Structure 1
Amino acid sequence: MNTLIKLEITRTLRNKKFMFFSVLYPAALYLLIAGGASTTEIVEGTHLTLPLLMMVSMASFGAITAVLVGNSEKIAKEREKGWVRQLRLTALPGRGYVAAKVASAAVVSLPSILVVFAVAAAVKGVRLDAWQWCALTGAIWAGSIVFAALGVAIGYLATGDAVRPLTMIIYFGLSVLGGLWMPTATFPQWLRNIAEWVPTHAYAALGQAIERGDAPQLKDVTLLVAYLVLFAGGAAWLYRKDTREA
């Protein structure tokens, strides 16, 4: 299993296109959205400035890019090419294959988080206590596991041709509806009511609470755990189904 994990990490790091979109693209979006924003004006309903709010949003967006897009497309294509079938003939357990995918995605998601933080600090003068930086990094990195599980599920659900459009619809839909690209305070009330139950909204809310110096709300933590169970359970069921059909 360790050998496969090393192989997956090496393959991921060599994919320059994927590395760009996972690591540099979120930081570029941060500059586009918050680059000219005021560092003192508070966004309504958040108690945070736009540079602070978007720092968490774009760091979360980058982590989701790495674990969701990367996992879904790789797994679907490897199933189509017969690589997964070949691995089943070895002593590698199914959980080892999934662990390798999550580990390789985590290697990319951490730099994407740190690059956004560095850009926010250097360009917009964002300053937080040391514990807040550490807590933010840990919360966003750990929370990305929810979307890693979703990526695995999509990879076993879709074919190689269908996986990209399906992933993009889910990826951008969750990002927009969860408030990663714009504050949900700008949404009409009916849309805000829906957004509060989207996993990306709860994911970003963890970091926003830490920025304010507060503890994350129990509702957000519970919601993320529930989605993790749902996505992981779906991925496990789809994996077993794929195994039976192989």
Structure 2
Amino acid sequence: MLATYLLIELKMLCRKKVYLTLSILLPLMFYLLFTTIIEIPSGMEDKFLKEYMFSMTTFSLTSFCLLSFPIDLVEEQQLGWQKQLFSTRMPISSYYLVKVLKTMIQFALSIIIIFLSAAWIRHVTMSFSEWLGAALTLWLGASLFLAIGLLIAQLNDIQKASGIGNICYIVLALTGGLWFPVNQFPHWLKVIAYKTPTYHLKQVALDIGKGEQFNWGSMSTLICYSIVFTLIALIIKNKREVK
């Protein structure tokens, strides 16, 4: 049943390929554009191209977590699709697991396309283990972001979920250093940046890409955020069901 439903979800995803394409190609276009027009100091090219690759990949992944994932859940609840599924033998846990797996497949597509483009077009170089380690870290780390999407989905209104999701998407990208380097922020904004999940998702992969040790501090921060947001979402959901 799980495999069948996942296959159905992937077929439905192909019908919504416009959003999937934009979520991947828009950050990729930003990467190619900004790495072309920004004047990079001599000797800093490789560092900038690599770091900005991780920034735009993180930017792409968060769009799935904060926009498509929660809006998908809200839309199916409003259409009554969730209720119909839950009336069958499908457990609620299987429903959410399929949604997570579908989103993680989108993560993989985004990571592969942006990484390959950065390597072929901008000549970003890393060892095979660094490419693979960074990709897997982003893939798994981004899944922890889905807890924020789950919380947004508790709004139970597509317009509200879309509005809050877009605000979180832009704010976390700006404050997390995905658009501008954190070292150029004023002190008060640096304090905020170092607490954002977007900063830590990018940083944990970037450190691997630079050949440094695994950043357990950033990964632990992401796990803590995931636990907190998941618990809040479950509390809201349980209270609503009781009422």
- Structure 2-normalised TM-score? 0.92
Aligned: 1:29 with 2:34: no
Q: Given the superposition, is the C-alpha separation of residues 239 and 99 from structure 1 closer, same or farther in structure 2, using an over 3 Å criterion?
A: farther
Alpha-carbon shift at residue 39 of structure 1 (Å): 8.4
Q: Given the superposition, is the C-alpha separation of residues 214 and 239 from structure 1 closer, same or farther in structure 2, using an over 3 Å criterion?
A: same
Paired position in structure 2 for 1:217 = 215
- What is the alpha-carbon distance in structure 2 between the residues aligned to residue 84 and residue 241 of structure 1? 18
Offset from partner CA, 1:40-89 (integer Å, 9 cap, x none): 5439xxxx721111111111111222233111111111111221122221
Q: Given the superposition, is the C-alpha separation of residues 206 and 95 from structure 1 closer, same or farther in structure 2, using an over 3 Å criterion?
A: same
Paired position in structure 1 for 2:96 = 98
Structure 1 residue corresponding to 2:160, chosen from 147, 159, 162: 162
Query: Which residues of structure 2 form unaligned runs of 5+?
Result: none
**Aligned 1:39-188 pairs, distance under 5 A:** 41-42=43-44, 49-188=47-186
Aligned: 1:20 with 2:21: yes
Offset from partner CA, 1:190-230 (integer Å, 9 cap, x none): 10011101111111101110122111333212101101111
- What is the alpha-carbon distance in structure 1 between the residues aligned to residue 157 and residue 63 of structure 2? 20
- What is the alpha-carbon distance in structure 2 between the residues aligned to residue 12 and residue 234 of structure 1? 28
Classify the secondary structure of the residue corresponding to 1:179. Answer: coil
| Aligned structure 1 segments of 4 or more residues deviating by more than 4 angstroms | none
Worse-superposed segment, 75-84 or 192-201 = 75-84
Q: Given the superposition, is the C-alpha separation of residues 193 and 15 from structure 1 closer, same or farther in structure 2, using an over 3 Å criterion?
A: same
Aligned: 1:233 with 2:235: no
Q: Given the superposition, is the C-alpha separation of residues 127 and 40 from structure 1 closer, same or farther in structure 2, using an over 3 Å criterion?
A: farther
Alpha-carbon shift at residue 237 of structure 1 (Å): 2.8
Alpha-carbon shift at residue 242 of structure 1 (Å): 4.5
Classify the secondary structure of the residue corresponding to 1:162. Answer: helix
- Contact 1:71–1:151 (Cα < 8 Å) also in 2: yes
- Contact 2:66–2:149 (Cα < 8 Å) also in 1: yes
- Contact 1:153–1:231 (Cα < 8 Å) also in 2: yes
Worse-superposed segment, 132-141 or 236-245 = 236-245
Classify the secondary structure of the residue corresponding to 2:167. Answer: helix
Classify the secondary structure of the residue corresponding to 1:157. Answer: coil
- What is the alpha-carbon distance in structure 2 between the residues aligned to residue 242 and residue 98 of structure 1? 18
Paired position in structure 2 for 1:11 = 12
- Contact 1:5–1:99 (Cα < 8 Å) also in 2: no
Q: Superposition RMSD on alpha carbons, in Å?
A: 1.9
- Contact 1:154–1:163 (Cα < 8 Å) also in 2: yes
- Structure 1-normalised TM-score? 0.91
